[in-house]
Structure 1
Amino acid sequence: MSDPMLLAEERLRPHAEEAYAAELVALEAVDDKPRPPRWRLSPWAVVTYLMGGTLPDGTEISAKYIGARRLMEVAVATLATDRALLLLGVPGTAKSWVSEHLAAAISGSSTLLVQGTSGTPEEAIRYGWNYAKLLAEGPTPGALVPSPVMTAMESGRLARIEELTRIPSDVQDALITVLSEKTLPIPELGREVQAVKGFNVIATANDRDRGVNDLSSALRRRFNTVVLPLPADVEDEVRIVTTRVADLADTLELPDVPAAEDEIRRVVTVFRELRSGVTADGRTAVKSPSSTLSAAEAISVITSGLALAAHFGTGVLQPSDVAAALVGAVVKDPVSDKVAWTEYLEVVARNRTGWAEFYSACREVS
């Protein structure tokens, strides 16, 4: 639980509804569109909150998601129906980020969260018990410990389930009755919890986890799936990385470092070429490493470089500042990834105009 005495700006990672409280209030003030039951904002305002824009009073709403607006419209429209939403994509495509912001804009709270792992028990989806009270009193309402899903059902809010396909299949199936009947039986108490209007579920899944704990056909039918793709072009990806790096640098109170767009663009270019297996001009094929190399990894590489530049460098982000983190992001497998990275350096980076310093820095740390 967050300390109410601790200001949002003092927290390393405030919840979306805290970090963007002013934007949500501004949207709420001008939002005159129809709202589904218990929604803080209308579907139009939720999409505006996610995609960004300028309100009639001049308030600027920052973009939380950079990509196709239609994807966000489909996601929001799904949550206004009786179907749950599954955000699917490779790692680093902002699934958790979008999920959090959807919950913040719709329910005013993003904290009703189940983190999926191979050890997630059924109690995380349904309910558990305070065993001290259970032994003393038997099964009573006071001994029951509601899950985030149960709490969302009772209060008419959104529940979030992260990494749904990491959860064991038998635990996943605890969702079927919740999503189809909007009911959660509690046989120990002889009663049930019926969902209040406004309740729904947002789940995320990594499509590289297929085959780990695939969703049953019965459960998959209860979800509308929206696939979040990698950024369509280099400009979108540079914008995503630049925006998030600026936010992180401000949160971490890193000393001011002059604009790092050149290095951001270079890292994004490297990642995109290695991901696609071909250089941007389409002329040279390259080996793709096993790592994901998403915008999330690029953000981490640049943030690490900024810290090095600010505390141990010249104060200006240089290729040498990003080289170590970049190599670490690419080379996950010391054998196959090392071969792919060395080939990229020698065939592409070595001969590219303006990349001599970058090539030397990467060779040094490789």
Structure 2
Amino acid sequence: MTTDNELLRPHAEQLYAAELEALTRNDSSARPASWLLSPSAVVTYLLGGSLDDGTVITPKYIGPRRIMEVAVATLATDRALLLLGVPGTAKTWVSEHLSAAISGTSTLLVQGTAGTPEEAIRYGWNYARLIAEGPSTEALVPSPIMIAMQQGKIARLEELTRIPSDVQDALITILSEKTLPVPELGMEVQATKGFSVIATANDRDRGVNDLSSALRRRFNTVVLPLPASADEEVSIVTQRVAALGKTLELPDLPTAADEIRRVVTVFRELRSGVTEDGRAKVKTPSGTLSTAEAISVITHGIAMSAHFGDGVLRPADVAAGIAGAVIKDPSADAVVWTEYLESVVRERADWADFYRAARSALS
């Protein structure tokens, strides 16, 4: 049997089981029906803190506390939660940890795509039994949302705006009436207390499958912003890289701090279109250059250093990864990256090694 330590990517409730247990022991505040933790304890789980027994809760989200309080308060009412933001703002991450802290499971998940069928939201059928026996509860295949309704848990719906509009509308009755009719069996599934839905959407996808006004009214929308400062983003990247490094059994590189700061600076300058000191404008590439991509670049660099380098994270280990993140459109983005190297990077004396590595990566 596979243990949690052998899993490549444990679920939040597995990875942070000890913290959730400690929070449960120390939580004396009122809990909504079916919740494992009180709303205040859920926020502590997300933002981190120290408990009365000395247990340290690691932060899962670094950002404004009020945003998490609004999100948790929404789930304590009868409204569903929509987490909106540009790619890489931790929407999926927050959704997973909210579900883990509230319901004890984050696995009741529907992944939205252009091909997501209505059965993924409502229910499907075991067609072998359906043909052999006709409609029956045994032939019914419940969706993750139906299971969440029956068990009073949180269901997650990723990339809501990528789902076709007619499939999205299957949510309206579920969210407004808290019931899911099964006309083939002459029955309905009524949601038990604790049920809710957390959906995520990328605001770069507006116009793909916009939510109808009827469906949008069923959600309370919380916008997750990009990190407000470079220090905040560096902290996020450092924390996530350390966690991923342990999972992937990569070495802990104490010298990684300088390269993390450099990658974050490059991403923020290209994202905003202006240098850190505000003195020069730069062109922005077509991609988003999210915090998640910065984490990926650093993790890849550590792997390069560990397996093909000398164990010290150097500019050459991250240069190719940054170029790959920036250059999504080979023609337009290559020009943006080259101009940035020549007009900004080349002028920074302490970035000379990075400039040479980045130029070499373009060859």
- The verdict on a shared fold, with TM-score over 0.5 as the criterion, is yes
Three-state SS of the structure 2 residue aligned to 1:159 is strand
Counterparts of 1:142 and 1:314, CA distance in 2 = 59
1:355 alignment partner, SS class: helix
Task: Choose which of 126, 138, 153 in structure 2 pairs with 1:157.
Answer: 153
- Shift in Å, 1:320: 0.3
Corresponding residue of 1:52: 48
Whether the aligned pair in 1 keeps the contact of 2:242 and 2:252 (CA below 8 Å) is: no
- Counterpart of 1:280 (choices 276, 279, 297) is 276
How do 1:1-366 residues align onto structure 2 when only pairs under 5 Å count? 5-366=1-362
Distance 2:180 2:88 in 1: 33
Please state whether the residue corresponding to 1:232 is helix, strand or coil: coil
Task: Give the Cα separation in 2 of the matches to 1:285 and 1:186.
Answer: 58
Please state whether the residue corresponding to 1:334 is helix, strand or coil.
Answer: coil
Secondary structure of 2:13's counterpart equals helix
Q: What count of residue pairs does the alignment treat as equivalent?
A: 362
* 1:239-266 alpha-carbon deviations (Å, 9 max, x no partner): 0000000011110011343330000000
Q: Secondary structure at the match of 1:141?
A: coil
Alignment partner of 2:155: what SS?
Answer: strand
Cα deviation, residue 314, structure 1: 1.4
SS in 2 for 1:142: coil
In structure 2, the residue corresponding to 1:201 is in which secondary structure? strand
- The separation in 2 between residues aligned to 1:250 and 1:259, in whole angstroms, is 17
Moved over 4 A (4+): none
Look up the equivalent residue of 1:117 and give its one-letter code. T
Q: Deviations over 1:308-345 (max 9, x none)?
A: 11111111000000011110000010111011101100
After superposition, the CA RMSD in angstroms is 0.6
User: Structure 1: where are the runs of 5+ without partners?
Assistant: none
Secondary structure of the residue aligned to 1:354 is: helix
Q: Aligned partners of 1:119, 1:226: CA distance in 2, in Å?
A: 26
Give per-residue Cα distances to partners, 1:146-178, cap 9 Å, x unaligned.
000000000000000000000000000000000
Identity %: 75
Q: Distance in 2 between matches of 1:140 and 1:313?
A: 61
Classify the secondary structure of the residue corresponding to 1:161: strand
Write the distance in 2 (CA, Å) between the matches of 1:297 and 1:111: 24
Query: What amino acid does structure 1 have at the position aligned with 2:12?
Result: A
CA displacement at 1:114 relative to structure 2: 0.2
Q: Distance in 2 between matches of 1:175 and 1:70?
A: 28
What SS does the aligned partner of 2:138 have? helix
Distance in 2 between residues matched to 1:232 and 1:211, nearest whole Å: 27
TM-score when normalising by structure 2: 0.99
